[in-house]
């Protein structure tokens, strides 16, 4: 029996995937035949089907596919943000199926670069611009219907109305003037579109310690007028908090790594930005999952075409796989390696490694990370709170979120604020506040 250490990349995949779960010591040498058998077992378990859907199981993460947020947060399927409008200020957007099907919930779109209002009924023709990725994914992570997953990867506020404000410049940057114009437009249009929440998953490129900074001033004005502003803290533990997250009245959201699990003992901090605002309060005030988050892949993009090709090959039997490679390999970034292989097992290893690298969940979804996606989770929870109690003020919302959060053990307060958001507890507290309202008057 020939013993070998195997090619490093292949061995790395196998050892990381088995992770000791099969009772194998990953540090000892393996015979080539045993490694091959283990690899076949892992490859067979990485593609799973459920209710007609096909998932890639990233064995480096867990033995099951990426779980929907409602399950991970034990948030329940209801409420869904009905009657509440969330405005997303971000890089750019497209009318993705998860935002317009089965019901088109986009009530307005605005481009802060040109100062033009866009028609929400307009649909993207051809490949969407790179600026559309981030914004569309943040909006869908909070409010997506999960249409392309049969409702599985539904956002917590899947029936909220949307106002989408794009800020990325044609040369790819997001600057203070665009963010100011976006916030000014929201301030002007908040009543027309009944905007109750503004989610800002971006930051300007300068720090400030002044309430007179135009971004900070506009955030404070919006909150004074009854709009809840939720902002992403940022992803650099050594980087300062910048506006709008620095704004005292913004609810600034940091991140946790929940390990794709509802079990709190698995959770740890996501090392995002932190600091203090003008009044000395800790930023972020609250944290939410910031990794392993399902988000839609944009249609008519190279990523979507590659995902379709990879899943088609990954789900085929060995004979069909080898026949498909010449026609589909060119749609992937591993095409040159695929067209030279003669072994279905090696082909599957290459395909699965690429699916892992591209963070694919299905042909229509991938997992994303960053506080940019933690903030929309909190915005979606706020939409649920406002559905059950429209009378809540921004101060009420903040107080309830912080009072119902739970702190991670052994994590400094400055990193997590009040702790991990608890969706069900926050909504329950909001409903209780409604019932108590008349007694306080």
CA-based end-to-end distance of the chain: 83
In whole angstroms, what is the distance from residue 441 CA to residue 436 CA? 9
pLDDT confidence of residue 123:
55
Sign of CA dihedral 17, 23, 28, 33: negative
pLDDT at 64 over 60: yes
Q: What is the mean pLDDT of residues 316-339?
A: 94
What whole-number distance in Å separates Cα of residue 93 and Cα of residue 139? 9
Query: For the chain, how big is the Rg over CA atoms in Å?
Result: 23
Cα four-point dihedral sign 105, 82, 180, 189 = positive
The residue length of the chain stands at: 441
Q: Which residues contact 173 (CB under 8 A, 6 or more apart)?
A: 205
The CB density around residue 150, as the number of other CB atoms within 10 Å, is 12
Dihedral (C-alpha) 217, 223, 228, 233: value to the nearest 10 degrees? 30
Give the pairing type, strands 161-166 and 3-4: unpaired
The larger pLDDT score, comparing residue 248 to residue 434, is at: 248
Tens of pLDDT, residues 411-439: 988 888 999 999 999 999 999 885 444 44
Two structure tokens written together for 129 = 């611009």
pLDDT above 70 for 390: yes
Mean pLDDT of the chain: 86
Q: Using pLDDT thresholds of 50, 70 and 90, give the confidence band for residue 205.
A: confident
Does the model's pTM come out above 0.85?
Answer: yes
- Omega cis (within 30) before 244: yes
| For range 186-191, the mean pLDDT | 96
The residue extents of the domains of the chain are 1-48, 69-296+368-440
The yes/no answer on whether domain 69-296+368-440 falls in CATH 3.40.50.200 is: yes
Q: In the prediction, which pLDDT does 38 show?
A: 53
Kindly tell me if the per-residue pLDDT of 44 is higher than 60. no
Give me the percent of the chain exceeding a pLDDT of 90.
60
C-alpha 148/C-alpha 22 separation (Å) is 34
DSSP label of 360: B
- Band of the pLDDT at 2, cuts 50, 70, 90? very low
Question: What is the predicted pLDDT for the residue at 153?
Answer: 93
What are the DSSP E strand ranges found in 323-436? 365-368
Which is more confident, 245 or 126?
Answer: 245
Distance (Å, whole) CA 394 – CA 388: 15
**Would you say residue 378 has pLDDT above 80?**
yes
pLDDT tens-digit map of 80-119: 999 999 999 999 999 999 999 999 999 999 999 888 887 7
What would the mean pLDDT of 288-292 be, rounded to a whole number?
95
């Amino acid at each position: 029996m020939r013993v070998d250490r195997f090619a490093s990349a292949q061995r790395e995949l196998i050892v990381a995937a088995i992770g000791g779960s099969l009772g194998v010591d990953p540090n000892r040498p393996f015979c080539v035949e045993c490694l091959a058998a283990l690899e076949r077992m892992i490859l067979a378990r990485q593609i799973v089907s459920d209710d007609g859907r096909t998932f890639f199981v990233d064995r480096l993460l867990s033995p099951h596919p990426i779980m929907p947020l409602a399950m991970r947060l034990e948030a329940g399927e209801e409420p869904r943000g009905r009657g509440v409008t969330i405005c997303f200020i971000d890089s750019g957007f497209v009318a993705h199926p998860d935002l317009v099907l089965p019901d088109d919930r986009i009530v307005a779109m605005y481009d802060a670069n040109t100062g033009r209002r866009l028609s929400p009924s307009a649909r993207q023709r051809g490949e969407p611009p790179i600026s559309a990725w981030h914004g569309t994914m943040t909006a869908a992570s909070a409010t997506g219907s999960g249409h392309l997953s049969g409702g599985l990867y539904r956002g917590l506020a899947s029936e909220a109305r949307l106002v989408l404000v794009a800020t990325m410049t044609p040369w790819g940057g997001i600057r203070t003037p665009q963010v100011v114009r976006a916030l000014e437009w929201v301030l002007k249009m908040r009543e027309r579109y009944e905007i109750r929440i503004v989610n800002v998953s971006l930051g300007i490129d300068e720090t400030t310690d002044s309430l007179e900074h135009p971004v900070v001033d506009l955030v404070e004005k919006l909150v004074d007028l009854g709009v809840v502003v939720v902002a992403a803290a940022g992803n650099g533990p050594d980087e300062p908090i910048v506006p709008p997250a620095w704004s005292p009245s913004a609810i600034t959201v940091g991140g946790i790594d929940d390990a794709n699990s509802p079990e709190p003992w698995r959770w740890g901090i996501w090392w995002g930005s932190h600091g203090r605002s003008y009044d000395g309060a800790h930023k972020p005030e609250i944290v939410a999952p910031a990794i392993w988050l399902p988000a839609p892949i944009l249609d008519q993009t190279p990523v979507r075409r590659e995902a379709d090709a990879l899943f088609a090959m990954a789900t085929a039997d060995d004979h069909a796989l080898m026949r498909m490679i010449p026609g589909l390999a060119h749609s992937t970034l591993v095409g040159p390696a695929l067209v030279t292989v003669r072994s279905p097992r090696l082909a599957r290893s290459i395909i699965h490694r690429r699916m892992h690298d591209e963070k694919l969940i299905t042909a229509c979804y991938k997992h994303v990370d960053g506080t940019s996606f933690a903030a929309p989770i909190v915005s979606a929870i706020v939409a649920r709170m406002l559905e059950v109690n429209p009378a809540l003020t921004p101060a009420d919302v903040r107080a309830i979120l912080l009072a119902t959060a739970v702190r991670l053990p052994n994590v400094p307060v400055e990193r997590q604020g009040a702790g991990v958001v608890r969706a069900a507890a926050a909504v329950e507290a909001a409903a209780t506040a409604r019932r108590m309202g008349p007694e306080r008057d």
